[in-house]
Chain A
Amino acid sequence: MEQIMNDHHFTFNAAALVARADGTLWWPDEGLLCVSDLHLGKSERIARRGGNLLPPYETQDTLWRLKAAIAAVQPERVICLGDSFDDITAAQSVPEEARRSLMHLQAGREWIWIEGNHDPGPVDIGGTHRVEVTVGPLTFRHITDGKTIGEVSGHYHPKASVRGAGFARACFLMDRRKLILPAFGAYTGGLSVGHTALRSLFAADGLAILTGKRALPVPLSACLRR
């Protein structure tokens, strides 16, 4: 019951959706779970490019949380909204252990990889690869095109805070036309909703849904004030 209390139920373009505290989007009527920006293999990429060596455990951590998210709602369909792999090389060199975990998660359900800017090509792991996908009134793609009504996207890793009530949390952003998901991957930074790149995307009556222990909706205007 705790689970339900912590979720935020809302209607978006006539679809009854649930923003979950863990940062995933659940669409019960379609049995569809959507996650964005997993960035699997980030540490390998940074090491490859000669940066600081991060231990590779973050991929495992992201997959464990994904497993928990899937176990909680038992979706029939999972959409990964792009930037699932930190780059194409990461996608092609997923460690054996992680590959097995992914296969377990994919078993018995439809799995769609949407292409992102980090992972534009097809990857050699189960599931279908699509640039975008439309389900009923909703369109799923990696980066918003700024026009489509009923669009669900990722890419920006939005974060927001409310003045006088704690630190910035990863959040969903939405108005009547579009919905942007928070990043699900470990070690992914965030873009503050106050940033012009995000601010300009949303209507004045937009909403942020903070994640963490509970999914808490708050007017975007209240986040932008700082």
Chain B
Amino acid sequence: MGMRDLPQRFQDWFDSKGWSIHPHQQVMLDRAGEPALLLIAPTGGGKTLAGFLPSLVELEDGAHEGLHTLYVSPLKALAADIKRNLGTPIADMDLPIRVEDRTGDTSYTQKRRQRADPPHILLTTPESLALLVSYEDAPRMFKGVQRIIVDEIHALAESKRGDQLMLALSRVQAMAPGLRRVGLSATVEDPAAIAHQLARHPDPCPIVMADPGPDPDISMLVTEETPPWSGGGAKYSIPAVLDLVRQHSTTLIFHNTRAQAEIYFHNLWLANEDSLPIGIHHGSLSRDQRSKVEAAMVRGDLRAIVCTGSLDLGIDWGDVDLVVQIGAPKNVKRLIQRIGRANHRYNAPSKAVLVPANRFEVVECVAALEAGREHDLDGDPKGPGPRDVLCQHILIAACAGPFEATELFRQIKTVGAYSELSRAAFDDCLEFCATGGYALRAYDKWQRLKEVDGTYRLRDPRSAAQIRMNIGTIYDVETLKVRFRRAAQSLGEVEEAFAASLTPGDTFLMGGQIVRYEGLNQMTVEVSRNKGREPKVATFYGTKFATSTQLSQRILRMFQQERWPELPPHTAQWLQLQRDVSKLPDAGRILVESFPHDGRANLAIYGFAGLNAHRTLGLILTQRMEAAGLNPLGFVVTDYALLIWGLTPVADAAPLFDPANIRDGLETWLQGNAVMKRTFRQAAIIAGLIDRNTRGGRKTGRQATFSSDILYDTLAKYDPDHLMLRITREEAMRGLVDFGRVEEMLQRTAGRVDQVNLDRVTPLAAPLFLEPGRIPVFGEARERLLQEKTEELMQEAGLTDL
């Protein structure tokens, strides 16, 4: 295909800006006719314009009627941002193009009008698109659509939102056979996997690689003060980070969890003697507060923002010249993409500083730097398309009108993630949507579809409203709003479980200020101002990422080095000491240390399988120990190890790791566990078994948990082969349960267990004792302790018999 010249007014516009078209923008224009095309470009490379340019050119003559281009992004804010950015060239060139966005925030009347009279370019999110295809009049709206642009497709591709989007796209494609697909992605480890998801199967999806630009300049912060043994606060780094903020014009300070961001922000302010303007931005803050910070940022009023992943995606933040990452990045790809945010000047390297929060994270940061230099990005191959999302898709299809099963199946097979789906597996999902499955067939509530003359339709057309209300695959942790007493404005949100743990008088951090918990009013957490300097409750929960498999492997390889010249002396000495008194973990073996401490028998297991897999392993191992009479009392996990304590020393831990027994633990014992129930609940909400939203208002987390737990127990007991339980077992391979990584560890170590028995704590195990989040084991040991305790209390009270 030859070079396609820019139309004159576009050329003039580029000239007037003093710009020339980037090579990859030209390629996207030249190949605009491809049925699917994926662009991989770094941030700042004019990626969005590369995506839109062909649409603007095609719409230039004003001949196209109705919708021409659909633009889908993972963030509402991004859609609004793009609308502003597109406005400039359209106004400058006076193009006859109408651009509108449509998200959860769009007004009802605006949405209605858009369906009757769609704009040329519609900016939306995967959930809003899924909702659009659920309407009976969808074919009319999508009839003439030419292009769909999926922005930040790398972020969508990792989650079920991407699967939902591609399923919705298969519906749109059926209504508009000429639809061409364009994906815009940041640098990823496996572009072909994303192209596979974007393509309309069996059509191919070529990949366009833009010049990646110079490598980022990443270093690790080295301070006078040594990092502490454990914890994620990195408080020690405050003076050094303030210095960095002073030396740069705008700094983004990223944290892995919201709680850590809050605490760090608070400490920054206490130390901020120059009163540098520093803001905070994270997903728990109210939208109002977030937009205030965003506006101040765009105006250039802020010198730094303390933030979390909520600031991660492609919004244009202007002149950021430094990214600080507090805590180990856990995942090299995310780190690189995050750093890409910093610098929007295409040809200058972005600058970033990593701040390890504790001694172990020093090792992890050094490993991440090494991986970054070698362009060794991490990622887990994505399995086949999840069936809970498929169930939701079937229900959405039924909302739009009667469908033929064979035709719907044919459409679904064009979606990359579902291209291997068997008819039997599809029929399974269809049967579930129609009847609820064997154990639930007696309930009207789940009898949703009926078959009439070979087509499926909703049994009760009114149920469409209920289905539409529950569209989406984002699993929100249930949250409660926080506000001052008698104030209307909300400060932000906390997780329901955190709110439940508070008693009046507790103080915690919210939006950078210390507030005092007063009580729960309806569904709102009421607080008052508090003048104290230290919050009593140091944390509220937040998402915690597990260190990626690739990064864990790299750390294990580092441990095998003779010496560690790349590590700061304090950390190198710590590792040497561990080698002297015990052993350093090895990728091919499981290191287990057994030692007494604080009156308990301890077992430190270095699994290097990540936080979630270690928790699962902890649940299974302690159950096995319970059965073997080893009296475990509790355990705690980190990304690299788990520590179990109990009443009885473990003489030989090797039999505990027998793969067959561990797998059996997942199948039997773990079934009754809360993490499995949460996994079930997430899948059940997506598949439409449980409503997240009802017409009477949103269900609270506890209500939903109550009924989903009972449903889970019921199905487990009476219909263990129910589709939802099979999906739950599949989901347990990743996410919260992450059994896939337990399997990975078992394979990597193949039963080679090295047990070291010692008389005291080892250097590598010591930080584990300081970790928060201890998980109790309710077994015989605890019964024994309870019995001892009650007997003691009875004696103390002088009560023997009444």
Contacts and interface: CB of A to CB of B under 8 A. Distances in A.
Interface of A: 10-12, 52-55, 57-58, 162, 164-167, 174-176, 187, 205, 207, 210, 212-214, 216-219, 221-222
Given A167-B778, A207-B802, A221-B797, A216 B790 contact: yes
Given A57-B717, A216-B787, A10 B802 contact: yes
A166 B787 CA distance: 11
Contacts of A210: 786, 790
A55 to B, nearest CB: 4
Chain A CB within 10 Å, residue with most, of B794, B801, B802: B802
Contact of B783 (A52, A176, A213): A213
Nearest to B793: A222
Contact of A176 (B445, B793, B794, B802): B802
A205 B710 CA distance: 38
Given A12-B802, A166-B776, A214 B797 contact: no
Interface in B753-802: 776, 778, 782-783, 785-787, 789-790, 793-794, 796-797, 799, 801-802
Contacts of A222: 793, 797
Contact of B794 (A11, A212, A219): A219
Contact of B714 (A57, A166, A207, A218): A57
Contact of A165 (B440, B785, B794): B785
Given A11-B801, A52-B706, A219-B799, A165 B789 contact: yes
A95 B252 CA distance: 64
Contact of B782 (A52, A165, A205, A218): A165
Contacts of A55: 440, 710-711, 714
A207 B706 CA distance: 31
Contacts, number: 68
B443 interface: yes
Given A10-B801, A165-B782, 10 more contacts: A11-B801, A55-B710, A57-B714, A57-B718, A165-B785, A165-B786, A213-B783, A214-B787, A218-B793, A219-B797
Nearest to B442: A56
A58 B707 CA distance: 12
A214 B783 contact: yes
A10 B783 CA distance: 21
| Interface size, B (range) | 20 to 34
A20 to B, nearest CB: 16
Contacts of A207: 799, 802
A9 to B, nearest CB: 9
Interface in B378-410: none
Contacts of A174: 802
B703 interface: yes
Interface string B481-513: 000000000000000000000000000000000
Chain B CB within 10 Å, residue with most, of A11, A57, A167: A57
Interface of B: prevailing SS: helix
Contact of A52 (B707, B717, B718): B707
A135 to B, nearest CB: 19
A163 B801 CA distance: 22
Contacts of B718: 57
Given A53-B707, A55-B714, A207-B802, A219 B793 contact: yes
A53 B703 contact: no
8 contacts: A10-B802, A55-B710, A165-B790, A167-B778, A205-B797, A219-B797, A219-B799, A222-B797
Contact of B789 (A57, A58, A164): A164
Contacts of A216: 786-787, 790
Interface in B542-556: none
A162 B790 contact: yes
Interface in B715-768: 717-718
B707 A166 contact: no
A149 to B, nearest CB: 13
Contacts of A176: 802
A166 B786 contact: yes
B87 to A, nearest CB: 47
Contact of B802 (A11, A57, A213, A221): A11
Contact of A175 (B707, B711, B802): B802
A96 to B, nearest CB: 14
Contacts of A219: 793-794, 796-797, 799
A11 B796 CA distance: 20
Contacts of B790: 162, 165, 210, 216-218
Top 7 nearest A-B pairs (CB, nearest first) are A219-B797, A218-B790, A55-B714, A165-B786, A52-B707, A222-B793, A216-B790
Interface in B656-707: 703, 706-707
Contacts of B796: 219
Nearest to A204: B797
A213 B790 CA distance: 14
Given A12-B802, A165-B789, A166-B778, A52 B703 contact: yes
A172 to B, nearest CB: 12
A58 B713 CA distance: 10
